[in-house]
Amino acid sequence: MKDNKEQSILPHPAKRERQWITPLKVVYTVLLLTVMLVIIALISLSLGPAKISLKDIFTWLIGYNTIDQTAWMILFKIRLPRILLAGLVGFTLSLGGVVFQALLRNPLAEPFILGISSGAAVGAIIGIFFGLGFTFGVPLLSFMGALFTVLLVMGISSRHGGLESSTLLLTGVIINAFFTAVIMFFIATTSDSRLHSMLFWLYGDLSQSKYVQLSIGLPFILIVSGIIYIFSRHFNLIVGGEESALQMGVEVELLKWISFLGISLIIGIAVSFSGIIGFVGLIVPHLMRMILGSDHRLLIPASSLGGAIFLIAADTLARTIISPSELPVGVITAFLGAPFFIYLLKSRGSQWTRT
Amino acid sequence: MDPDLILRDVYFRYDSQWCLEGIDFELKRGEIVGIIGPNGSGKSTLLKIMDGLLRIQKGEILLFNKPISRYRRGDIARHIAMVPQEETFRFSFLVSEVVLMGRFSHLGLFPFEGKADLEIANQSMSLTGTLNLATRSIHELSGGERQRVLIARALTQRAQIILLDEPTSFLDIRHKVETFELISYLTLTQGLSVIIVSHDISLAAQYCHRMLLLNNGVVYKIGEPAEVITADNISAVYQCPVLVDNNPISKTPRVTILSKRKDSKEETV
């Protein structure tokens, strides 16, 4: 006789296996990741060429200690805006990755897949070419480039009001190739110090962080991620195919339009401030999926926060590893990301694609 | 009682050629209708237009006496559930998670399943014999197990009408029979109305109240299994010589395929 208790998916006190998502589980995970985020940010704040120990920061935070003017300047004018921007960009890239992977039903999809990166890069490089500033000029041009590209790709791929995922992917690839040629043209015809700026931008660079960028980006990113979270359970059904999602009650076309536009908007904003930072939107969602499963109600918040943690850590490495000089953060993410991703493909590749 | 689903003179095409022409059909409460026909005859397309997944160009489809085009997707999902031919999950979901997806259209703004939803999922899984798979990944399952999970998910939708697109194609004979038994049991106990597309003509004939034989997008014959499944009808539509006799136990029509090579041998002998 089989034990009947074993044969039920209803809550069973002795069972701790993951079977479905509860609100409590989401809250716990988000809290845990937020605590990790704060810890990483504090550690990052204490690291850099100027020695300001974690202990100094802590004692100052709780009012037992004072810090001098220079230390204050370094912490709040240089390090903090950079950490906050790294967090915001990591959050956005990872959110974009998880959403695009679900919508395109492609485990290798990443936030730049619709040509956002190359469009933004063309804008930024034109900006740098004409000597515009890094606070407004370059970000504005790169954002316009990103938005233009996405609208172009979506315009080409839409038929009878519907977006076909495979056409969308292919169009993105082609547009990317075209814009890469444009970028190469500008790089080849530039030789002075602007070349250094261009290359840094192309590999992702957070050294130009300003609070004003945060205040522009934050509201958009909060609104879009809120909207995406409302739709989180819709993405679960999309993973099983658009038609069956439609059958089970998902307004698939509406979801695709809202998500592609919303995510492209905030990725465009993030990229315009940070340059192109690869692999964050690829690795973090997969890592979270391995740990927490594929339910997007948990996966979306966990991936976004995980992306913030990952990019703050990577950028801390980028600015300390060859101190006093620094690396573009994209170099670090690619160094860590590519081997990790190959490992994932080798060990779990079949699981993503098995039919 | 009015039929649950009515199709009146329905025409549908993807491109320039009509896929379905002048389909008239009614699905009554509590009946099982089998749709049979050769590959490419429009069976799956017919199922999709019944579910409102494809828009028809001419004619009328009434779901509970209201045109299906006036329903929102979420409302259709509460009335009609569909078991697809196959479904590919790109990422690894647990079986319990997949079954719970059936509750999608029943959840309100609060996006989490409650105890009642879990009970329903549990019941569907116990009916389909998939409870022991609950914590397995959908990727680890065999074709037959996956098919039963998809049926469980459709039951979890708690819809009045269930459409099944070749649900038995990957199943062994035991699970084929069990699937038809389950469908039969559900229509009897819960009054569900079922449409099932199947290539197992003889098996479908044992369980279906009516059968619809589709040929090139046109209804060739509709009626009780014994009226539809005759050697003449089947041979003409499938263009394959068959012998039809009665199943000795159930007395329903039984199709035997006549091998062509044997035929020619017999002719030469």
Residue B92 to residue A294, Cβ atoms within 8 A: yes
Write down how long chain A is. 355
Whether A238 and A245 have beta carbons less than 8 Å apart is answered as yes
* Residue listed under structure tokens 């009408």: B161
One-letter amino acid at A182 equals V
Q: pLDDT at residue A355 above 50?
A: no
Q: How far is CA B264 from CA A178, A333, B59, B239, B241, in A?
A: 62, 70, 46, 16, 12
Q: How many CB pairs under 8 A join A and B?
A: 123
Residue A295 to residue B93, Cβ atoms within 8 A: yes
Which residues of chain A lie closer than 8 angstroms to B119, CB-CB? 10
> What phi and psi values does residue B244 have, to the nearest 5 degrees?
-115, 120
> A32-38 long-range contacts, Cβ below 8 Å, gap at least 24?
A33/A301, A33/A302, A33/A305, A33/A306, A33/A309, A34/A305, A36/A305, A36/A309, A37/A87, A37/A305, A37/A308, A37/A309, A37/A312
Nearest residue in chain A measured CA to CA from B80: A247
Residue A105 to residue B74, Cβ atoms within 8 A: no
- Rounded distance between C-alpha atoms, residue A306 and residue B142, angstroms: 34
Beta strands in A112-239 (DSSP E): 158-159, 162-163
- Which residues share a beta bridge with A293? none
> What phi and psi values does residue A152 have, to the nearest 5 degrees?
-65, -50
Arithmetic mean of pLDDT, A94-121: 86
* pLDDT grade for A30, boundaries at 50, 70 and 90: very high
**Which pLDDT does position A16 carry in this prediction?**
46
Percent of residues, chain A, with pLDDT higher than 90: 30
Q: pLDDT at residue A351 above 60?
A: no
Q: Which two tokens stand for residue A89?
A: 């960009």
Which residues of chain B lie closer than 8 angstroms to A19, CB-CB? 94, 96-97, 134-135
Whether B96 and A19 have beta carbons less than 8 Å apart is answered as yes
Burial A35-64 (b: 16+ CB within 10 A, else e): eebeebbeebbbbbeeebeeebbeebeeee
Which residues of chain B lie closer than 8 angstroms to A9, CB-CB? 96, 118, 121-122, 125, 131, 134
> Dihedral (C-alpha) B33, B39, B45, B51: value to the nearest 10 degrees?
30
- Which residues share a beta bridge with A44? none
Which residues of chain A lie closer than 8 angstroms to B132, CB-CB? 7
Q: How far B31 CA lies from chain A's nearest CA (Å)?
A: 22
Which residues of chain A lie closer than 8 angstroms to B111, CB-CB? 230, 232-233, 297
Which residues of chain A lie closer than 8 angstroms to B112, CB-CB? 21-23, 297
Strand, coil or helix: A277 = coil
Note the Cα B177 to chain centre separation in Å. Answer: 14
**Which pLDDT does position A354 carry in this prediction?**
35
- Rounded distance between C-alpha atoms, residue A133 and residue A215, angstroms: 18
Domain count, chain B: 1
Which residues of chain A lie closer than 8 angstroms to B75, CB-CB? 249
Query: What are the boundaries of each domain within chain A?
Result: 85-341
Note the Cα B88 to chain centre separation in Å. Answer: 19
Burial grade of A286 (CB within 10 A; 0-12, 13-18, 19 or more): buried
Q: Starting from the edge strand earliest in sequence, which strands make up the sheet with B210-215, in order? A: B80-83, B161-165, B193-197, B32-36, B210-215, B218-223
Arithmetic mean of pLDDT, A54-65: 78
Helix (H) or strand (E) holding A165: helix A165-188
Strand, coil or helix: B220 = strand
Q: Which of A160, A248, A253 to mutate to test the interface with B (most CBs of B within 10 A)?
A: A248
Arithmetic mean of pLDDT, A277-286: 90
Arithmetic mean of pLDDT, A259-277: 87
For residue B259, give the DSSP letter: P
Each residue of A63-107: pLDDT tens digit?
Answer: 777 778 888 888 888 899 999 999 999 999 999 999 999 988 888
Task: Please tell me which of the candidates B80, B97, B122 has its beta carbon nearest to residue A10.
Answer: B122
Per-chain mean pLDDT for chain A: 84
Chain A segment 269-328 residues within 8 A of B by beta carbon are 289, 293-295, 297
Which CATH number do you get for residue B218?
A: 3.40.50.300
pLDDT along chain B (269 residues), means of 10: 91 89 92 94 92 91 93 92 86 90 87 88 90 89 88 93 89 88 90 93 93 94 93 91 89 85 48
* pLDDT grade for A19, boundaries at 50, 70 and 90: low
Domain that residue B21 falls in: 5-268
Higher-confidence residue of A324 and A8: namely A324
Q: pLDDT at residue A6 above 60?
A: no
Q: pLDDT at residue A141 above 70?
A: yes
> What phi and psi values does residue B222 have, to the nearest 5 degrees?
-135, 140
Higher-confidence residue of B11 and A163: namely B11
CATH of segment(s) A85-341: 1.10.3470.10
Residue A247 to residue B53, Cβ atoms within 8 A: yes
- Rounded distance between C-alpha atoms, residue B140 and residue B109, angstroms: 32
Arithmetic mean of pLDDT, A122-142: 84
Arithmetic mean of pLDDT, A204-213: 83
Residue B132 to residue A293, Cβ atoms within 8 A: no
Q: How far A9 CA lies from chain B's nearest CA (Å)?
A: 6
* pLDDT grade for A246, boundaries at 50, 70 and 90: very high
**Which pLDDT does position B261 carry in this prediction?**
62
- Regarding an ipTM greater than 0.95, the answer is no
Q: pLDDT at residue A10 above 70?
A: no
**Which pLDDT does position A13 carry in this prediction?**
43
Q: How far B257 CA lies from chain A's nearest CA (Å)?
A: 32
Chain A segment 106-165 residues within 8 A of B by beta carbon are 106-107
Q: How far B268 CA lies from chain A's nearest CA (Å)?
A: 47
Residue A7 to residue B107, Cβ atoms within 8 A: no
Each residue of A289-303: pLDDT tens digit?
Answer: 888 888 999 999 999
